[in-house]
A and B are shown apart, each in its own frame.
Chain A
Amino acid sequence: MQLNFAAREVAIKLVYYGPALSGKTTNLKALHELTRTDSRGRLMTLETKDDRTLFFDMLPLVFKAETEGGAMNLRVKVFTVPGQVVHASTRRLVLQGADAVAFIADSQVAETENNAASFLDLRTNLKELGRSMRDVPLVIQFNKRDLPNVRSDAEIDDLARRGKEPVFKASAVHGQGVMESFFGLLERAWRKLDAEHDLTRKLGIQPDEFLAKAASSLGYEGKARMLCDAHVGGSGKGGA
């Protein structure tokens, strides 16, 4: 996070991590589609010919929020990392300074090992950057729910209950579960930053209020709670 107190500006960095072809870029494209024009910037994708992310994608979301302490600028930059194994160093570069990570897993049963390998890679890279899984808020998205040969809902619910991270189900190509995962991630990122930097007092805004403002700026007036809670598992909060 970058907090410019004088300008009342908070910049948050969210990173979408996951194995190659799990739909990180698709998530970002859908997020771009599904948010209000005046709050989103241009989607920057650095792609190769064959549609594989070479470096990263980045979507800036910028909006104002009126608070007790005055207007506040919120800048959220959402990044994706390149999933292919060879781009290890780029992944680490993009991961640097992330305030929260959404892990985009592929629901297909055959991808189970790739999901796990990518997750371990995430852990290694965080460690290399001097951070640990404990201090980076994480949400998990099981993407590609629309495909055949995927893990059943019941299986995912069971898996989600075994872990402590909230698990979202999505079909990013159809825009399903994308906003939910994003808000789930934004909430966890903000609550963590609030706890560390006392944003409630410094900026005069409560986390729930913040999420409500973010939702309305992005075109989801009054839906923040519902979006955030559309997950299974995760510290006993909410259900699908």
Chain B
Amino acid sequence: MSEVPPNQDVVGDQPIALEDVVDRDALDDLCKSIHALFGIGVRVYASQGALLANVANELELCRYVNEVPGSRAACGATVIAAKSVAPGDDGEVTHPCFTGLAYHIVSLVHEGRRVGRIVLGPYAPAGLREPPPSLAQADKRLDVARASDLAATVPRVKQEALQRIAGHLKETLELIIFSSHKAWVTSKLHLYSVRESYRELQDKTTRLEQTLTRLKEVDRLKSNFLATMSHELRTPLTSIIGYSEMLAEGIAGELSAEQQEYVRTIHAKGEQLLRLIMGLLDLSKLESGTMSLRQAPAQIGPILKEVITTLAPVARKKEVELALDSDDAPCELAADAERLRQVFINLVDNAVKFTPKGGKVTVRARVTAGAAPSGDDDDEAAGAALLAPLLKQVEVRVSDTGIGIPAAERVKVFEAFYQVDSSSTREYGGTGLGLSIVKRIVDAHGGQVSVEGNEPNGTVFVVVLPSAQTRRAALPSRVPPALA
């Protein structure tokens, strides 16, 4: 009772249109074969009156009748009536022609509905002796004797024979209608199913897209929040550090040894807190992509030397040997030197921190032949023989003889805030941010960082940075930034 859904024509109860489900040429062929077999004209009409097939030879009687205006009109009226006369409850009716001939009409039924009709004729009923008075009445110019002679030449057909022919044709046609309708339903439903599945997929895609957008927004908010908070935390902290430093230096008057110790503790902890906040700030900048890398031609040698110089005092104080072993081979990197320095300061500082007194920290740098840029797919691996000479990379290994990192933990150390020993009583301080910052910076340079064990004890951090040329070679096969 509600509005008809679009597919109701298939799974509902809409009447079919004969012209939709039956092939006209095939129907014509069928009617021709019936006509050839019995010599009776066959016409098939759809329920709305459209003529779908018409196979008949004009009888001489009909031709003669049509030559005279009055009887031509009567003939026309008969044909129209045969097309529209109600076939009664049985679905079968014989309609007489004014010439004494007749038409037999059978309705075509599909799913209990009349969808069209077969009209057989004109034929001469078996009992026809002479034309009825209606023939003479049609037009007085008509030569009744001649018409009567012509009527005598029309083959007589017994009523039961005619009904058998009609019944057979009806059954055949209804079977064709059923089969065609079935095929039509199948194809329609197939179409609707595909459309329905497509709609479902589209719904899902839309929902996923919305979720993705929301998640991106949440992620951006989180990064913004971190950046803002870090900044807001840093401002008062700077005052705490500044004033405690002034106090320690006696600017506000001499301090007792105990006071001095307290103030220095405040100052040291303040510095520690500041480093943590700075680390957070870096991380959020890296995450939100707002940290800009100023990439310029750079060599690894000078950067490492500077790092060693910076950390030598720390190592000496801890009585840890710190050595640089560089092959000094030239290899141009496209890098932000300041950020790379941060990477190695972090790594070397860590190494020293986790190495006990008397241990050794080595920084070893080598220029090696680079692997073809991530050769996973054929496109990128192509032409390796041509590109290989250009593909160089710098490998820096920072090894220590410290406590080491269990193999299972090695992947996780690069996650933010992760610490191998996260117990509150842990021996070594630190924010847990250093390595995740290292990883992000190395990633941003197109490089890789990994951890290996250092036998018999200790850890090796391996940083691999592709040369500027390697990165350029890898670039074209990547997705263009505009599309990414």
Contacts and interface: CB of A to CB of B under 8 A. Distances in A.
A2 B13 contact: yes
Interface string B440-458: 0000000000000000000
Nearest to A92: B196
Interface in B406-431: none
A41 B13 contact: no
A62 B189 CA distance: 23
B484 interface: no
A73 B196 CA distance: 33
A212 to B, nearest CB: 20
A93 B186 contact: no
Contacts of A96: 5, 7-8, 11-12
Interface of B: 1, 5, 7-8, 10-13, 110-113, 178, 181-182, 185-186, 189-190, 192-193, 196-197, 200
A89 B111 contact: no
Interface in A11-46: 11, 13, 41-42, 44, 46
Contact of B1 (A1, A41, A77, A94): A1
Contact of B178 (A44, A56, A94, A197): A44
20 contacts: A1-B1, A2-B13, A41-B110, A41-B111, A42-B178, A44-B178, A44-B182, A44-B185, A46-B189, A55-B186, A60-B112, A75-B13, A77-B111, A89-B196, A90-B189, A93-B7, A93-B11, A93-B192, A96-B5, A97-B5
A13 B4 CA distance: 13
Contacts of A41: 110-112
A208 B186 CA distance: 37
A197 B1 contact: yes
Contacts of B196: 89-90, 92-93
Contacts of A226: none
B12 to A, nearest CB: 6
Contacts of B7: 93, 96
B200 A89 contact: yes
A155 to B, nearest CB: 35
Contacts of B112: 41, 60, 62, 73, 75
A210 interface: no
Given A75-B13, A96-B8, 17 more contacts: A2-B13, A11-B12, A13-B12, A41-B111, A41-B112, A44-B182, A46-B189, A55-B186, A60-B111, A77-B111, A79-B11, A90-B196, A93-B189, A93-B193, A96-B11, A97-B8, A197-B1
Contacts of B182: 44, 46
B117 to A, nearest CB: 18
Secondary structure at chain B's binding surface: helix, strand, loop or mixed? helix
B458 to A, nearest CB: 56
A133 interface: no
Contacts of A79: 11
Contacts of B178: 42, 44
A3 interface: yes
Interface in A92-149: 92-94, 96-97
A56 B111 contact: no
A50 B197 CA distance: 24
A23 B28 CA distance: 41
A77 B12 CA distance: 8
Contacts of A42: 178
A92 B13 CA distance: 17
Contact of A2 (B12, B111, B185, B186): B12
Counting chain B CB atoms within 10 Å of each CB, the highest count among A62, A93, A94 belongs to A93
Interface of A: 1-3, 11, 13, 41-42, 44, 46, 55-56, 60, 62, 73, 75, 77, 79, 87, 89-90, 92-94, 96-97, 197
Contacts of B186: 46, 55
A3 B12 CA distance: 12
Q: Which 4 A-B pairs have the closest CB atoms?
A: A62-B112, A89-B196, A11-B13, A60-B111
B332 to A, nearest CB: 57
A75 B189 CA distance: 21
B13 A90 contact: no
Contacts of A13: 11-13
Contacts of B190: 55
A150 B1 CA distance: 41
A111 B186 CA distance: 30
B322 to A, nearest CB: 65
Nearest to A1: B1
A239 B190 CA distance: 42
Contacts of B189: 46, 55-56, 90, 93
Nearest to A11: B13
Nearest to B2: A97
A94 B11 contact: yes
Most B-side CB within 10 Å, residue of A13, A55, A77: A55
A143 B414 CA distance: 60
Contacts of A3: 1
Nearest to A61: B112
Contacts of B192: 93
Contacts of A75: 13, 111-112
A89 B197 contact: yes
B75 to A, nearest CB: 34
